[in-house]
Structures are given as structure tokens and as C-alpha cells.
Chains A and B, each alone.
Chain A
Amino acid sequence: MNQYYVKRIVSAILTILLIATVTFFMMKAIPGGPFSRERALPAEIIAALNNKYKLNDPLFKQYVDYMLGLFTFDLGPSFRRLGYTVNELIAIGFPVSAKIGFLAIMTIVLIGIPLGVISALRQSKLTDYVVMVLATLGVTIPSFVLATLYIYFFAGKWKLVPAFGLESGLAYIGPVLALSGYSISFVARLTRSSMLEVLRQDYVRTAKASGLSEFQVVFKYALKNALIPVITYMGPMIAAILTGSFVVERIFALPGMGYMYVEGVNNRDYTVIMGTTVFYAIFYVVMVLLVDIGYTLADPRIRLGKKYGE
């Protein structure tokens, strides 16, 4: 049993190392150095810059330096935002993203799951129909469309909320909704279908037959098992929220990680791209690992069952 956890943790560490290595060599493979601009810099300046950032060292030494930097959480200076290190940029951006991301996850759990349950209980009735159409809409409309429509109507036309920034509580509604829209719909659909499956099972019928109230049957017995596929989705959901923040932070002009990343990509700020990529990837791997472990704790069948081959 413990063997499973050890295996998962070891493979997560290997994955992180691999991610860091691949990212490093990908960045080195970019044609042109980090200092090639549209207006060519004088050769001496480039040489001096290369010297300063140790870009003249042999590749292997650069790699070792970079990996050692990673172990001490030092991601180097930004090439474009002078005076900032990547660490500082992440320290500025991450809390903003984390706040919105956390609220988004809460929204998903608090809205998506109840919607799915209601829809399953009222199967083939009007409520079910309305919820499912909304959920399908939510899955099919891209977040950037949702966000811009939201700004257009709520901030522009009706002036109910601020269009950007995070100064007031109301300003959180837009980013959080845009970020969670897809996952709310997905979770609602997932909950509905797994709930329907569980409700048909014998133990639910037994529970009903023994005179328990509908509420008790649904929330105490059925929901527990119905949520298992939803928990599986938590890993990918974190990814959706992470990457969704690229767009949402851009539209709502929030100084989060996603904004920094896209900014770095557009400015070709190599250390920022490299640093945030590695940060994102590690964060993601760790979160998925945590979800996986929590999940095996909740459902012992998963630890024991084989992973592949149906």
C-alpha cells in the first residue's frame, strides 16, 4: 500500500526534473539569443550581456547552474523588466492568481456539484433540460468570449461592476466566473451522469426501502460514490484554471502569473518564460499528486486495482 505512494512521489519528482531539463533545452534551442532585437545591439554590448548572464559558459555548465538555481528556488533575473528577478515577478503575480483560482475552485464545487445533483434527481424534466443546456453552453463557449461578453454587458452597458482590476469585491465576480465557467459546466455534467448511474444501484434502493428520506439517501449514500469521477477531474481542472488565467488575467487586466507569462511570451523574455513555465509545471505536478493521493485515501479500490488494461 505504501509502495503506491512511494512510486507516485518518485515519479512526480522524476517528472519535475524532466520538465525542468526539457524546458531548459527548449529555451536554448530558440534561434537567436535572448538579446536579439529588431534593432541590432552593438557587438560589445551583446558580449558584455552574455558575459553578465553567463551565456558564454559551456552548455553543460549553464545547465548545471540552472538546475542548482532551481533547487535553491533561484530563477534568475528578468531580461526585459530590468531590476526584477523572476522570483520577484512570481511573488507579485502568484498571490493574485492564487486568490482568483481558489475562489474559482470554490465556485465550481459549490455550484457545479449541486447543479449536477438537481439535474440527476429531476431527470428528463424541465429543470434537468435547462441545466444541461446551460452546461453544454458553458463547455462550448470559450472563456475569452464569456469574459468579454461579461465586460461588455455588466461593466460597459449596465455599469454594474468595474471592468478591470481587483479593487472591490464586485470586481472578483467577472474573473472568477470566466475562470470557472467551463469547469462548472463540466462538473455539473459529470456529477449528473455519475449520479444517475449510482441512483440505479441496489444499495440505493435498499436505503430507500428501509425508509430513509430522499435527502438522506441522496446526500449521505449516493453522493459519496457519485463524486468519485468528479474528484478524478480535479487534476485536469487545476490545469484548466491555471491556463485559463492566461486569458482571464489579460482581459481583466490583472497582474497575475498568467499575465506575466503571456507578457513574457510576447516580449520574448526568456528567463521569465523559463521560470514561469517550470513554476507552473511543478505546481501542476504537485497538485495532481496531492489530488491523486487524496483520491486513493477516499477510495481504496483505486490503490488495489491495476492502473491499465480494462
Chain B
Amino acid sequence: MVNKMSHTKEDFLPINVKALTNNEQIRPSITFWADVWRRFKKNKLALIGLVGVIIVSLFGIFGPYVTPYSYSYQQTDYSNVPPTFPVYRVDENHYVFLTGQYRLLLISNEGEIVSRLLLTATDPINKIYTYRYNDESVIIDFSYRVVPSRMNLGIDYTVTYNNSTVSQPERTIHNKTFLLGSDNLGRDLLTRIMYGARISLSVALIATLVNLVIGVAYGSISAMSGGSTDNIMMRIVDIIDSIPLLIYVILLMVIINKPGSGYWTIILTLGTLYWVGMARLVRGQILGMKEQEFVLAARVLGVSNNRIIVRHMIPNTIGPIIVSLTMMIPTAVFTESFLSFIGLGVSAPQASWGTLANDAISNLQTYPYQLFFPSIAIAITMFAFNFLGDGLRTALDPRLRKG
């Protein structure tokens, strides 16, 4: 009894793939980076950080093209003008504002500085200064600051013009000429902060990239060589790690700094000293990967060591590298402003945020805004990069993946 199997032609037709897959639960596959972005997006703080980084970068890149001033353009007549100031009315369209250095500035109704009024006479005994405006005298009486009987009247000084005397400022007006005020040489602070962003961020970025290249090369060579080469290379890293690097950054700055070259000196010193962490990170990652099958497969196919590092290892460590990069940039911004602050930064008239803060220290009590704005810029940048780095770390770390 042989049951002869019979096949018809229909049995050999291709099956309907569509009908078959329609029954399966499938989702479109997500690439690694799409997955990272998906998780990154969920993190509000990280998004804020990303936006902050973008804004600060745009501020530094395009800001200087937008402002009417250059970072070194000085109008010494208008030095130390704050971003907002009290004004006294002189005529329909104009106010006057007295600067901390007893300069009388003519201010338009909109808050623009029109001109500086000429000081024609000073009476140091009675504390009366006379300025000239439209061929008339503007008399400022400071005696309220010194005469005991007048000191408690709540009046700072009086402004007399055209026989009318004003003792209280009419209002506080926003400075439209210098939006964030001007510095002690009459340079626009906003413009200088924009240029400062350019210098601080570019120093940080270039120094970090130099660190990246050195660190990745050092770490991967050390890990791939193994044995005593690895041992010696890591002992060197140990030694560098046990040195307070900032002292050597300062020392190196002293040694190689020539007048006018502060910018490149900072990049060089920061770029060549801080790669140790990156080298350790890359080495650790590569050691973990070295014995895995895909590396063995590449080796069997006859791929050279260098090529394995460049094509297989580094792309696989890119996540931790990026995280460490975003953490290194704020550190570099920080170190740069620190160095500038103790007087080892870029040379005048160039400005970084650190030099701006340093310049502002000496007249902090009188013109605090000169310190506040650069400090805010530094803090915002550090904030943004830190949040971005934290977010990237969470998004890129597969162990923290929830599903």
C-alpha cells in the first residue's frame, strides 16, 4: 500500500508574502540614533540644554554681525553707562543722565544717548557743576550729598535748566544705545559678550577636539597593544592623573605665552593636558570589545589592527565619547574663564567671558552690571552643556534603556 504523493503545479507557486506578514506583529525597525533621539526627546531638561547650547552658539557666531559696534570700538565719552538709569527732564524731547564720573549725557525720550554735554564750570566748594546745553546752562547741585542739613531730604542732586529745578528723576529709562551698558572704556558690553562667546566657546571646542584626538588615539593604541606597552602607557596616564593639572596649565601659560598670543596659548595648554580621562574611557571600552566575535571575524578576514580600531572599535564607543565631549566643553569654558580671571587669558582688546569678569571686578561696587552679564553668560553655558551631557548620557547608555 503505497500512498503515492501527488503534486500539482499549484504547490510550487510562491506564497503570498503579504498575506503572511500581515498576520505578524511588526514595528518598523528603529536605528540606534533614532532610538537615542526618541529617548533624548523625553527628557525635558536635556532638551532645554540642547536649545541653550544652540542659542549660545548662534549668539557667538552671528551676534557680532548684528551689532553696530566692534568689540574694540571705544567711545570714552560714554564709559560706564549702565543698561538702565534714572533721568531728569530738561526739555520736551530730552532728558539728562549723570554718569558715575560726573559726565552729563543728553538722552532722547526713547533712551538713546544723544551727546555728552560740555562741563563749563565747577564750584568744588558749594558742589555745583555747570554744563552747557543749547547755549543755556544746566546746573547740577550736589550739595545734598555733603551738607549735613540737606543730607536727609532724600534728594541726590538737583538739575536746574531754564530756571526750572528738578530734584527727583522723572523715570528710569532703558539704555537703547548700549543694551547691556558700556564698559570702562565706553565699549558696548553686549558686543563684547558676543565676541567673548566666540572666543570662550571656540577655545573650549578646539581644545576639546584636540583632547579627543589625543585621548582616542592614546587609549585605543594602549588597549590594542596590550601587554607591557599597555602597562607602561597606563602608568604614564596614572602619573599625569596624580598631578594637579591646573598648576601646570598656569605654568605652561607662563612659559609659552607671548604678548598677543593668549588665544592659541590657552588652546594649546588646555588641549594637551586634559586628554587623560578620554584615554582611560576609550581604553576601557576597547578592552571590553577586543575579545568579541565581530572583532575576531574582522581579524579572520585579515583586517589590519588600525582598520579594526578605526572602522569597528571607535564607532562602537562613540556614545560614551560624545557624552564625555559634552562634559569636557563646559570644563574647558570654566578653565578658560578661570585662567583669564587670574590674568593669564587672551590679551586686550580681545575679550573672553573670563577677562570681562576680571575687568569688572575692580569697579564692582559702582558698576555691578559689568560683572553680572558675563557671569550670567558663563552660567547659562555651563548649565546648558551640563544638562545636554546628562541627557545624552541617559539616552546613550543602553543599561538605562527601559524599552
Give the B-binding residues of A (Cβ under 8 A).
Answer: 11-12, 14-15, 18-19, 23, 26-27, 29-30, 136-137, 139-142, 144-145, 148-149, 151-152, 156, 239, 242-243, 246-247, 250-251, 261-262, 265-266, 268, 273, 277, 280-281, 284-285, 288, 308-310
Contact = CB atoms under 8 A, between A and B. Distances in A.
Contacts of A285: 242-243
A280 B368 contact: no
A141 B375 contact: yes
A141 B386 contact: no
A257 B342 CA distance: 14
Nearest to B285: A310
Contacts of B371: 145, 148-149, 152
B364 A308 contact: no
Given A26-B251, A30-B255, A308-B234, A288 B382 contact: no
B247 A148 contact: no
Given A12-B242, A144-B341, A284-B244, A151 B364 contact: yes
Nearest to B258: A31
Sort A-B residue pairs by CB-CB distance and give the 8 closest, nearest first. Answer: A140-B382, A145-B375, A243-B246, A284-B244, A239-B244, A309-B287, A140-B383, A141-B379
A188 to B, nearest CB: 14
Nearest to B361: A148
B155 interface: no
Nearest to B368: A152
B288 A136 contact: no
Contacts of B386: 136, 139-140
A14 B240 CA distance: 12
A149 B368 CA distance: 9
Interface in B364-403: 364-365, 368, 371, 375, 378-379, 382-383, 386-387
18 contacts: A11-B238, A26-B252, A136-B386, A139-B386, A141-B375, A141-B379, A142-B378, A145-B378, A148-B371, A152-B368, A239-B244, A262-B343, A273-B251, A273-B254, A277-B248, A280-B244, A281-B243, A285-B242
A284 B243 contact: yes
A34 B268 CA distance: 24
A156 B371 CA distance: 14
B278 interface: no
Contacts of A277: 247-248, 251
Interface residues of B, number: 40
A25 B244 CA distance: 18
B246 A239 contact: yes
B135 to A, nearest CB: 41
Chain A CB within 10 Å, residue with most, of B234, B357, B364, B387: B364
Contact of B364 (A14, A19, A148, A288): A148
A308 to B, nearest CB: 6
B199 to A, nearest CB: 16
A101 to B, nearest CB: 13
A251 B362 CA distance: 10
Contacts of A266: 343
Contact of B284 (A142, A239, A284, A308): A308
B44 to A, nearest CB: 13
Interface stretch (B17-25, B292-300, B330-338): B330-338
Chain A CB within 10 Å, residue with most, of B238, B247, B364, B365: B247
Contacts of A310: 284, 287-288
Given A145-B378, A145-B379, A152-B364, A242 B244 contact: yes
Contacts of A268: 254
B239 interface: yes
Contact of B338 (A11, A141, A142, A251): A142
Contacts of B239: 11, 14-15, 18
B251 A23 contact: yes
Contacts of A11: 235, 238-239
Given A148-B361, A246-B342, 9 more contacts: A11-B239, A14-B239, A23-B251, A140-B330, A149-B375, A262-B342, A277-B251, A281-B243, A308-B283
A247 B341 contact: yes
B174 to A, nearest CB: 22
A265 B251 CA distance: 8
Contacts of A15: 239, 242-243
Contacts of B189: none
Contacts of A273: 251, 254
Contacts of A288: 242
B337 A142 contact: yes
B344 interface: yes
Nearest to A145: B375
A152 to B, nearest CB: 6
B335 to A, nearest CB: 10
B390 to A, nearest CB: 9
A308 B234 CA distance: 9
A25 B385 CA distance: 37
